[in-house]
Each structure stands twice: as structure tokens, then as C-alpha cells.
Structure 1
């Protein structure tokens, strides 16, 4: 598809009103300053639109009107809007690219004997499949709602833990050690797992093989993190960043991922670093010194282990299936300084135990 007429056709196919306005037309209708419109548009990750181009429709007017009304109410400020716009833009850009790839695959399957239609692969043809388009839309809303429920549940659990901590502090019989166990409820367990030697793999494997490895790594990470009640924060190239309910869960995620990678068709060596401490969450991402520490610990990790700060090692002392070893010499971690570490691995007899048996033991501990 090409040409301005096709832009209107594409908009209609995905449920958008056709473009009939220039940016200045939208600004006049909504009463929003030009600078605000440009900032909102850029924050969502869209390419710049020439001022004289007819590129906006009634959907854009309605969205800008709703945003302007929300800001005027004082319930949120411009910074909140821009932060959410950036998260939505970056996330949905990736989702849209993945959906277009799916449409291409559908076209390939519906093509001729060679898997390609007479006009070649054209994802635009799949836009005529109303059932498929409806599934793409409803799946977005469904996954969003499920994640919203999960996020609200995590927030309620944190608030409940805060209430419990305040009650403990108010109780004169509660010891200082008990009050500060697990570093307080504002602390977060952050973990990183990356593929070691990814640059060497890139030179040795072709693009499709490399893509398959990354795909399986991401799928495994999502599976294992969910199994331990954690959350994948993001994938960064050949690494995954996640948060976990506690230090033990964070460590077990790393060890489980390494075992999966070792048993794959193309055995991979994964490195894991886990830290526990204060963080701040903004736009679904997690920031702070704890994140930096976990990332740097991954740099010095070795196969089959998770590296943690040495002062956290005592929290895993009573785990009979884990082998915790303090590292004798301190490490100079970039941006962190001299840090004492400990390694955590499964005991040799546990490495050969079936995963189901380990899950049963974990469930009994949780119960």
C-alpha cells in the first residue's frame, strides 16, 4: 500500500476516523497550546508531522480534549501525562510491530504453494479479516485488565505490609532486629539475568538462530518469573530485569533460568545478580541503587550461581537445598565501589532432583 488515499484506508481498517485535520486545526478546536500538542505527540513516540499535512482525525480531537479536561481538573499534572504517554508509546510500538509480524505470517500461510501470495507478503491484506482484527484488539484489553488487577494486588499487599510494620514499630515488645528484618517493606528484590558471551554467539549463529535463542530466553524468563510470583520489568538486549517478592524468590528465579538454559538445544551460560533494598517505581520501571547493584553483580557472576551482597547471605542460611558461600575478597564494582559478595547455588544433590520435587518443597515452605 502507498499514497495518501491508502493512509485513510489503513486508518479506517483499524477503526480510526480518517485524517481530515492539520495539527493547527486540532489545536484550535481543543484550545491546547501548540507546544503541548507537540510534546504529547512526541512522548507517545510518533514521528514528526509537517504542519501543513492533513494527518489527524476526530479520534485525535477527542483524545486531546479528554487530556486537556483532565489536566484542567487538577487531578493530574503535565508530568504525569507525559510519563504515561512515554510508557504507552514505547510499549504499544513494540506490540504493534509484533502484531504486524503476525499479520505477515497469516498472509504467508494464506498464500500460494510457496507460502507467498501472488502480490507478495502484504500485512495490509489481513486488515480485511475482521475476526482477526477484533482478536488483536480484544487481546490487548484482556491482557491490560489482567495486568491491572495484578498491579493493584501488589500495591494492596505492600500497603498491608506497611500497616503491619507500623503496628510492629508501635509495639514496645517488638525488637529492633524484628522491625528491620528483610530491610523494611519499602525494599524490593531486583534481579538481572543475562546471556554470557552473546557477542560471540552473534558471530557464530545466523540471524534466525540468534532470534530463536532470544525468543526462548524471553519465554523462559516470563515463565519462571511468574512461577515465583515475580514480575518481569523489562528485557534489555540479551538480559532480563525482574522484581521478586523476596530475596529467596529472586535467587531461585536466577537458578531455575540457568538450569533451563543448560538443558536447551543450544546450551547457554547465564549470569545472575540479585540485590535487595530501596527502589522507586516510575512508569512501571524500577530505579535506584538496588537496581544498579543487581546489574553490577551480574557482571561478576559465574555459571550455576546467583551473586548477592554478602550482608544478605544470612537470609538464606536455613535453606537446606541452597549452598551459600561468602566470597573472601571484595570486588570493586563500577559505580558502586568495594562490595563484599556471596554466591548461592543449589547443592549438588539438589541439582539432579526433578523440578516438580523442588516445586513441592517450595510450596510447602510457602504454606
Structure 2
């Protein structure tokens, strides 16, 4: 990245923080709670839900902290959401943006280190961080809002489609849940440098994201060497699973992969999914051979009428907490159609 011209003097750490927060810290708990029409206890509840630690009685808050609390208070007061739902929404927002912020900081730190090592930096990491933030903040802020609206539209359209199918609750509708993880990742990671391990995880996440989103699924979460995804129907989920095996399992520079898929009603909460299909998919992944896709009988029943896939029944297996499970290996008979 090419940095803009260096400012006349080097910025301080406080100036960098002020740039990022958009204002100076000047308010206490009592002041922002009063400004938002909340008790201190309620203000602290939302603060913790966002994922921030307690800060005591010092002047730790900006005018934007007060505005954010005031906005939440107005939503509850106007009856748009109740207080419990507001806390849930705030908690989900904190989780998602917290991870995004950590990733952005890690990436920007790498850029700054590379620039300094190449002799094209400013000679000061703090100055470089200030200049990068100054250049990127406005664009990423716009991109964040754009992406959220786009994702919101896609999710709403999906719920509308589900609502037309039957009388099942929208947030407990049938779905196919998939788990995919890298084989022997723990052993492999011990022999890698920090940089090589980071590159491996990044390639895994990038590849799985491209395959899952590109095929019509949704990434629920990634846990280093594992990704959890959902799809609206078994065919899409099986297509994703087989393409993950083709993309990752056949790549000599990546570890082998295994995938488990189960279908049934799941409950969606805070961006995650819960229910028997989620647990079963995880168990099937543990049972799967390397570079293979295992599905449960509900998924297999739906795929039986799809000519794109070949199914092979495995001997029934007793799984702890789930009893006897009938698993099926799935392979592509021909390239699945969209």
C-alpha cells in the first residue's frame, strides 16, 4: 500500500485513538447514562453486550458512545424491539464487528511491517498506522454499511421464501448444516512457522468462503481449521461438500479435508445455528475418511432423487448422545447443476 504524505509532525497515540473513535474521551458512566436516558446499570449492560470491559469511573466515553446508547434506548422506548432483544442484537453486533476489527488490525500491522522492512515506510509504526487509518477509515466505513445492507436484503429474501413453503417457524426452519475440517491440522501446525500457519489458515478460509458463498450456502463460523455452513436444501449442501473436497483435497499444498452434512430443523440465534442437525453434522465429520463427504439419512433421502450424486450406505454407527446413525458417503456422479 502506498502511504499518503507524512504529516508535518508525528501523531501521538492519543491522536490515533481519537481518529479511530471519531471524538475524544470526555464522559463518565453517569454522564452517558443520563444523556441516553438510562440507568448506569443498563448502560453497562449494553456496553458488556458489545464486548467491552468495565472501565471504572474515569472519563472513558465519547459523544458517539452516548449517541449509540441513545439510539438503542429509542428503539426500546418506541416498541420496535424489547429490551432483551436489543441486548441480543447488540451482543451479536459486538461479536461480528469484534472479529472483523481484530482481522483488520492484524492485516494493517502486516502491511506496516512490510513497508518498514522494504524501506518505504515512514520510519515510525505509529505514524504509518495513523496515515493508513486516515486513508482507509472512510472507505471501509462505507463498505461496512453497504455490505451489511446487502447481507440484510439476502437474509430477508431467504426468510420470505421459507415463509411461503409452510407453517414452520421462520427461525426454526429445515436446513442442511455442514461441517468441514482439515485432517491432521494440529500435528501439521506444530511444524509450521507462525507466518506459514497464518497463510495456511487464510487460504483455507478464502477457499471455503469462495466455494460456500459461490454455491449458494452461508458461512456460519470458522474455527481455525474448521468451517460451519448451512444451505437451504440438501442438494446445495452436498454440492458444497463435494466442491470443497475437489478444491482443497486435491490441492497438494493444503491438508486433506473431510465434510459432514445433516438435514433437519435448526434454530437460528445470534448468527449461529443450533439443533440436532448441527450436532450430527459435527459427528459425521469426525467419522468421515479424508477427502470424503458423509451425510445423514435425511440428507441421503433427498439426494436419492438427484441424479448428480452417487450414494453409498455405510454400516450403522452408534454415536454418543445421538444413538444409532445411518451415514452415507456422497460423491459426484457428474458436475452438479446449480
Q: Is the TM value for this pair above 0.5?
A: yes
Structure 1 match to 2:101: 96
Please state whether the residue corresponding to 1:37 is helix, strand or coil: helix
Check conservation: 1:13, 1:127, Cα contact below 8 A.
no
Check conservation: 1:262, 1:269, Cα contact below 8 A.
yes
In the aligned structure 1, how far is the partner of 2:234 from the partner of 2:175? 9
Among candidates 196, 206, 218, match of residue 219 of structure 1: 206
The reply on whether 1:136 has 2:111 as its aligned counterpart is no
Large movers: runs of 4+ above 3 Å: 5-8, 105-117, 120-124, 318-321
Check conservation: 1:225, 1:232, Cα contact below 8 A.
yes
Check conservation: 2:285, 2:294, Cα contact below 8 A.
yes
Structure 1 match to 2:331: 345
Among candidates 24, 33, 38, match of residue 44 of structure 2: 38
The reply on whether 1:118 has 2:123 as its aligned counterpart is yes
In the aligned structure 2, how far is the partner of 1:322 from the partner of 1:311? 15
Please state whether the residue corresponding to 2:220 is helix, strand or coil: strand
Distance 1:113 1:203, change over 3 A: closer
Structure 2 match to 1:19: 25
Structure 2 match to 1:241: 228
Structure 2 match to 1:159: 163
Structure 2 match to 1:48: 54
In the aligned structure 2, how far is the partner of 1:162 from the partner of 1:232? 25
In the aligned structure 2, how far is the partner of 1:23 from the partner of 1:150? 38
In the aligned structure 2, how far is the partner of 1:287 from the partner of 1:335? 15
Deviation at 1:110, TM superposition (A): 4.7
In the aligned structure 1, how far is the partner of 2:190 from the partner of 2:288? 23
1:206-285 pair list within 5 angstroms: 206-285=193-272
Check conservation: 2:122, 2:128, Cα contact below 8 A.
no
In the aligned structure 2, how far is the partner of 1:76 from the partner of 1:126? 40
Please state whether the residue corresponding to 2:264 is helix, strand or coil: strand
In the aligned structure 2, how far is the partner of 1:125 from the partner of 1:112? 18
Q: Which moved more, 1:107-116 or 1:235-244?
A: 107-116
Check conservation: 1:44, 1:86, Cα contact below 8 A.
yes
Check conservation: 1:103, 1:123, Cα contact below 8 A.
no
Structure 2 match to 1:68: 73
> Can you give the 5+ residue segments of structure 1 that lack an aligned partner in the other structure?
166-184, 351-357
Deviation at 1:113, TM superposition (A): 4.1
In the aligned structure 2, how far is the partner of 1:311 from the partner of 1:243? 15
Structure 2 match to 1:149: 153
CA root-mean-square deviation: 2.4
Deviation at 1:321, TM superposition (A): 4.1
Q: Which moved more, 1:114-123 or 1:137-146?
A: 114-123
Deviation at 1:291, TM superposition (A): 0.9
Distance 1:299 1:17, change over 3 A: same
> Can you give the 5+ residue segments of structure 2 that lack an aligned partner in the other structure?
1-10
| Structure label with greater radius of gyration | 1
Deviation at 1:126, TM superposition (A): 2.3
Number of equivalent positions: 325
Higher RCO, Cα 8 Å, sep 6+: 2
